[in-house]
Amino acid sequence: MTRSNLIFTHGAVFSVGLAAAMIANSFREPGAREAASGDDRATRRQSADGSAIINPDAVSNKNRTSDPQVHSKKGGETPSDRLAGIVRITDTFERQRALMNLIDTLGPAEFAGVADQFRELDHLGDSRGEYDLILRGWAKADPLTALDYVGQHPNAKAGSAAILSTWAGNDAAGAERWALDHHEGDGPNPYLAAVIRGIAGNDVATASRLAQTMPQSRERAEAVDAITHALFLQGVDAAMAFPASIGDEQLRGGFVAAIANRLIDKDVTKAAAWVASMDQGDLQNRAARNVADAMAKLDPAAAAGWVGTLKPEARAEAARGVIPIMSREDITGTAQWVSKLAGTPNYDNVVEEFVWSCNTRAPEQSAVWIQGVSNPDQQRRLFNRMLGEWAQHDAAAVKQWVASNNVPDDVRRRFSR
């Protein structure tokens, strides 16, 4: 296989990540960074309330050095001409390298035209990922205008996230201020997760401070994931030590779960030992099921033994991670193990997990186990769903089983017809 074929075959896997790194490391030549930094400072001034605003004179001067004709001396091509050719390049690596080269030459006033053109063109590449590259380049040149632009077009949330995370990596305070000023309502701030993603790699402490201001939500989970990723760049030990610094118990549990999930991929044994070492069952509980599942895939018996080392509050969730894998090989043995867990907090959930692990292979046994669920609403829901699925394959057997066993009256009426 030729080198170009290899690049084309594997380029889709790493091209967006590589291109994002090129934005961070190659947006300007090293010798030009100091001058570019001065340019950016000249382009902005502070308003009375401290927010950044555009200095029109500075932008005008900067644009004169970024005139399309100046950039297109090579072959006389304008940015529009170049983009039209770039989107037709079949080699993923070469296409994105050409796109990055184009972005590197654009002045702040040229990005809107390039973004408009890209959205209208048919192209061979990852249109969402490559469009994000344009937005990220724009965020480095003029984030405020870029945010105004995406707010007027479809997929504004995704576009805003790309711009805010890039801006936050260069100007954390400015991006945070914009995110806070533009959030409306009492719900979770949809912009903060993107800001935290941009900050985390440079300043975990600030990213964590912002995450603690967010209510429990999907947005906060996204923030936790971004911070966790940054923590692992500092090392596994740094990541495992981090949750102890979080005062909010719910957030601390979120970090434990996220760190454990990432640690599982590196060292399941270490993840299991770390979770078991925690002195709070609620913290163990957040990570227990995924760790147990990963252990059971390697050794179900060892995973079952690990469940017993946890605090009682975490054992039910951990057992739910073991049961599906253990029962594939030995339903009877799994049933015996589940019986030994009786009295564990949230034991009904353990029983339910076992019911679903064998409902298609041993429906009679599965149905019998439902009778042991103590919560009447949960029991009724399980009977209706499990017996309903069984009846699709053997309605006569279900009718006979219901007639011979103790079930709620409404369940009996439904399946005795």
> Residue 417: its pLDDT value, please?
83
Distance (Å, whole) CA 322 – CA 301: 9
Which amino acid does the sequence have at 19?
Answer: A
> Residue 133: its pLDDT value, please?
96
Low-confidence ranges of the chain (pLDDT < 70): 1-76
> Residue 153: its pLDDT value, please?
87
> Residue 78: its pLDDT value, please?
93
> Residue 75: its pLDDT value, please?
56
> Residue 156: its pLDDT value, please?
84
Domain ranges of the chain: 1-170, 359-417
Question: Which pTM was predicted?
Answer: 0.73
